[in-house]
Structure formats: C-alpha cells, structure tokens
Amino acid sequence: MTIRTLVIDDEPIARRSIVRLLAEDDAMQLVGEFGDGASALDAIRAHRPDLVFLDVQMPEMSGIDVVNAMQSDVAPAIVFVTAYERYAVQAFDIEALDYLVKPFSRERFFQTVERAKRHLAGRAGDDASADVLRAVELLRRGPEYAQRLSVPVDEHLILVDVASIDWIEANRNSVRLHVGKDVYTLRQTMTHLASRLDPSVFLRVHRSAMVNIHRIKTVHPWFNGYHLLVLSTGQQLRMSRYQHQSFLQLTGRQK
C-alpha cells in the first residue's frame, strides 16, 4: 500500500526532519511539504493525500483552521505535530489519530507511521473525518498552556521546560527566553507566546518583558508609581503601577 503524504509545518527544521524520516519507508510517498496553512489547504484539495502531518500552531492559519476548512469528502488522516504537553497528548491519544510532540525521536515517529498505516487500512468512508473533528474538539476543550517550548538551535531543537524560565524579553518579532545563564531565541511575538503560557505564573510587567512570578524575590517601590522587581537571579525589571496591582492580586496580597 502506498500512502500519499503531505507535511505541513512552519518550522523548517521540524519539517525537514519529518520529510527525511518519511524517505526511509517505501510505503510513504511524499506529495508535498508546506510551511503555512493556506498553501497546505490548497494542496490537500488538489492532491487528496491519504495522510497529513499537520502542525497545530502556525501563524495566520493554524492546523485547527486547516482542519475546519477541509471538506469531509477530502479529509485525510491527520497526525498532529504539536508543542503541547500531556493534556493535548491525552486528548489525541484516545482517538484513532496520532500526535508527535516536538522534538520527537525516530522510534516515536515510526510508531506513528505504523499506527497511521493500520488506521488507513481499516478505515471506512467518513470515519477518518469524524476522528479529525473529534480530536479538534477535544483540543479546544483542553488546557492551552504549554509546559515545554521547542527552540531551534543550530540544526536541532532544544526542549525548554516552561517552569525553568526566569523571564522573557521581547525583541521585535521574536522573544528571548532567559533560563539561568542561558538565553534562547524563539521566533514568535510576545503576544503570541503569552497566550500559550499560564497567566497565573507568567506576569507581563511591561511591553517588552514577562516574568515567572516564582522567580520574583523582592518588590521595591521606585518613582512615579513604578516598582522594581528583583528576581532570584539578580535581574531587575521595572513594573508600572497598574501591573504592580495585578501582581498583588495574583499573589493574594491585595484585592
């Protein structure tokens, strides 16, 4: 059985990794690879693939948007590629579909391929479409806070535990993750990243910085209603009066 496959991921490193692994299995026929949802949707309609490796989070048109836009008569089997932690993994795992959490191992990838083969060999009619829609609904209902972040470094990915991040610094259309003495650059906006993080843990102290409240050591009054945060690392960050009140509410010190 030949399985016509599309790879859709806006991260070139992750996309190339999937394409390279697919080449090791003669049953997998790559019919295209894309870095954005709109192009992927056109390709799905044009090529009618059997299987799609689909990144959940992409700018402008997410993987969920792609699935929602697909017509049921052309819906392929979907393997979600995601940076979500176990809450999303659990949601996908109870369905006939599969998932890959970045960065994934070679062994995990081929487990997914074998599962996809069994699924395609045994599915009937619109069952695959129903599986996709159920998985998407489960994802929507689940928590949306990342536990780990995949960060490209040279030719590989580093998985950074969110809990280990001290603070996050905006840098135009990217952010810098400060983790102890290490600094990692992630190519997404501060606003987008903030939507993925638990707001009870990460506090936006001003336009260009978020801080892990568990790293705050002391808060000092400053001037003009501002306050100065001192982190356990010694880093000092300025906080406005409005944001200071939000911090007090988060820590239960003041309503």
Q: Which two tokens stand for residue 19?
A: 């394409």
pLDDT confidence tier of residue 231, bands split at 50, 70 and 90: very high
Strands 98-101 and 77-82: parallel
Residue 172: is it exposed, middle or buried by C-beta count within 10 angstroms (0-12/13-18/19+)? exposed
pLDDT tens profile 154-167: 777 888 999 999 99
Backbone angles phi, psi at 177, to 5 degrees: -95, 120
Q: Could you tell me where in the chain the CATH 2.40.50.1020 domains are found?
A: 160-250
According to CATH, the topology of domain 160-250 is OB fold (Dihydrolipoamide Acetyltransferase, E2P) (2.40.50)
- Asked if pLDDT for residue 125 goes beyond 50, the answer is no
Report which residue type is found at 111.
Answer: Q
Please give the mean pLDDT across all residues of the chain: 79
pLDDT confidence tier of residue 176, bands split at 50, 70 and 90: very high
Residues 123-146, mean pLDDT to the nearest whole number: 54
User: What local confidence, expressed as pLDDT, does residue 135 receive?
Assistant: 56
- Residues 6+ positions from 168 with CB-CB distance below 8 Å: 175, 176, 177, 178, 190, 193, 202, 209, 210, 211
Percent of all residues in the chain with a pLDDT value above 70, rounded to a whole number = 77
Q: Could you tell me where in the chain the CATH 3.40.50.2300 domains are found?
A: 3-141
User: What local confidence, expressed as pLDDT, does residue 93 receive?
Assistant: 42
pLDDT tens profile 24-71: 999 999 999 999 888 888 888 888 999 999 888 787 787 777 877 776
User: What local confidence, expressed as pLDDT, does residue 85 receive?
Assistant: 52
- Asked if pLDDT for residue 12 goes beyond 90, the answer is no
- Residues 6+ positions from 46 with CB-CB distance below 8 Å: none
- Asked if pLDDT for residue 189 goes beyond 90, the answer is no
- Asked if pLDDT for residue 199 goes beyond 90, the answer is no
If you write DSSP's letter for every residue of 61-113 in order, what string do you get?
S-HHHHHHHS-GGG--EEEEEE---HHHHHHHHTSSSEEEESS--HHHHHHHH
pLDDT tens profile 66-107: 877 776 556 788 888 877 654 354 444 434 367 787 778 888
According to CATH, the topology of domain 3-141 is Rossmann fold (3.40.50)
User: What local confidence, expressed as pLDDT, does residue 178 receive?
Assistant: 96
- pTM, two decimals, is 0.50
Of residues 92 and 246, more confidently modeled? 246
CA angle centred on 68, ends 65 and 71, rounded to 5°: 135
d(CA 51, CA 78): 6
User: What local confidence, expressed as pLDDT, does residue 126 receive?
Assistant: 45
Q: Which of 13-27, 98-112, 137-151, 229-243 has the lowest mean pLDDT?
A: 137-151
